[in-house]
Amino acid sequence: MERGSDARTVRDLARQYAEVCAQPVQDERRDLWRRHNSLRRTRPLIYVRWLAAWHEAEESRLVCGDAFLRHHETVLRQGLFQSTIGDDTIQEPWLVQPASLILPEHSVWGVPFGRKPSPIAGGSWMYDPPLKSLADIDRLARPRHAIDEDATRDNADRLREVVGDIITVHVDRAPGYRDWNGDISTNLAYLRGLEQVMWDMVDDPAGLHELVAFMRDGILATHEAAEQAGDWSLAEHENQAMPYSLELQDPTANPHGVKRRDLWGFFAAQEMAQVSPAMHEEFVFEYQLPIAREFGLVAYGCCENLTHKIDMLRRLPNLRRIAVTPTADVALCAEQIGEDYVFSWRPNPSQMICCGFDRDLIRRVVREAMDASRGCHVDITLKDVQTVQGNTANLREWVRIVRDITDGCC
């Protein structure tokens, strides 16, 4: 067994985390999320995603010097802190060790994304997209799914040596072209530039279709190759919440070999927020459909306003969750979504916790949203929390305030 202070630190944290995972409340939350995501009536569930402000927590002070163990120290400390917030997050009883994927040089598409750091500390970064012309599609690498098995085995064995007798180690072997690398929209903007994509829709729609089709086919190819290789597992569900349902098997660490139809998939198109429903559908959604249809259930949307695009989303037969964002019309979304899908409401974090902590404002905004979405299957995700102004106790207080309102809304 690996010894030393770093290993002892990670082992101690793993013991604490394993105890949290074994608490009865975890199974209570699993039951709630299963029913909620299967459109059964529950109280509104609460999910806090706040890790952008992790550096403000006292618990974020790390002690491991070894980079490999330091990563897992971070994950364990974050999980332990999350368990104190009081929301409906489920702490799963395993640690994830990503496989060593063999990817193209520079980026998943083989060209360097042109992100230029600001010359001012903490300033906004600038961007210079790599595809200056749609004819540059020939510069892109054709995606493939491949794993460095020796490096993957060595990393997994090392982590098991440290904590394997305390908690399960799960090796994530799923392809690298998923989530933000698999929704097309995110990397399309990285490759071409967001403003230029909008010009392309008008100036060269055929060229843009060719590029997006190339991306769709590449993503699908890696997903299919990973499925043929048995590299998807039940730990690779993704729905921007707790990926449980009555229709699909629960998330589980190992073994591998499941099909995409056994999993939740997540898709979004934040870059299409200022694009008309027709153009969103033509240039992105139409190409997301064949990828998304392969999954058992799908969640759609992250930060983009989907108020006027819900009819489009209904084309996805396995759609189950729709994001209702701070810029969305809550009442109009509720009218369209009804009881057909989960209504995943994301309040404005600036109003909730980032720019002051006004309890009366929180109560008013949450009550108005709950009244507007009455009759829907609602959960509340506090996300994009860039700061808690140095007061992490406000996260717990926010959950308490919201729960006082929502517990009577079932």
Query: Three-class SS string for 72-104?
Result: HHHHHHHHHHHCCCCCCCCCCCEEEEECCECCC
Mean predicted confidence (pLDDT) in 110-120: 87
Mean pLDDT confidence for 216-231: 98
Residue 3 has pLDDT above 90, yes or no: no
Q: What is the pLDDT of residues 68-77, one digit of tens each?
A: 999 999 999 9
Instruction: Read off the CATH number of the domain in which 16 is found.
Output: 3.20.20.210
Question: How confident is the model over 240-263, as pLDDT tens digits?
Answer: 999 999 999 999 999 899 999 999
Residues with Cβ within 8 Å of residue 212, at least 6 apart in sequence: 184, 188, 283, 284, 287
Tally of CA atoms within 13 A in the half-sphere of 406 that contains its CB: 27
User: Is residue 231 predicted with pLDDT exceeding 70?
Assistant: yes
Average pLDDT over every residue of 125-129: 88
Q: What angle do CA 277, 278, 283 make, to 5 degrees?
A: 105
239 vs 301: CA distance, rounded Å:
10
Query: What's the chain's length in residues?
Result: 410
Tell me which residue range forms the domain holding 250.
5-406
Percent of the chain with pLDDT over 90: 94
Catalogue the E-assigned strands of 223-312: 264-267, 297-300
d(CA 125, CA 116): 6
Average pLDDT, the chain: 96
Would you say residue 320 has pLDDT above 80? yes
Reading the block at residue 287, the tokens are 């190409």
Q: How many CB atoms lie within 10 A of CB 63?
A: 12
Take residue 13 and report the two structure tokens written for it: 């944290």
Tell me how far CA of residue 200 lies from CA of 206, 212, 289, 300, in angstroms: 9, 12, 21, 24
Statement: residue 16 has pLDDT above 80: yes
* Segment 109-116 mean pLDDT: 90
149 Cβ neighbours under 8 A, 6+ residues apart: none
- pLDDT > 70? residue 158: yes
> Regarding predicted confidence, which is higher, 117 or 66?
66
Question: Are the C-beta atoms of 167 and 17 separated by less than 8 Å?
Answer: yes
Q: What's the pLDDT at 86?
A: 97
CB 322 within 8 A of CB 310: yes
Is 57 within 8 Å of 396 (Cβ atoms)?
no
* Residue 1 pLDDT greater than 70, yes or no: no
**Is it the case that residue 107 has pLDDT exceeding 60?**
yes
Cα gap 237→265, rounded to integer Å:
6
Among 34-43, 114-123, 304-313, where is mean pLDDT lowest?
Answer: 114-123
* Structure confidence at residue 409 (pLDDT): 65
pLDDT above 90: residue 98 = yes
Output the pLDDT for position 33.
Answer: 98
Position 122 scores a pLDDT of 76
So what's the pLDDT on residue 51? 86
Q: How far apart are CA 322 and CA 162, in angstroms?
A: 40
Task: Specify the number of domains making up the chain.
Answer: 1
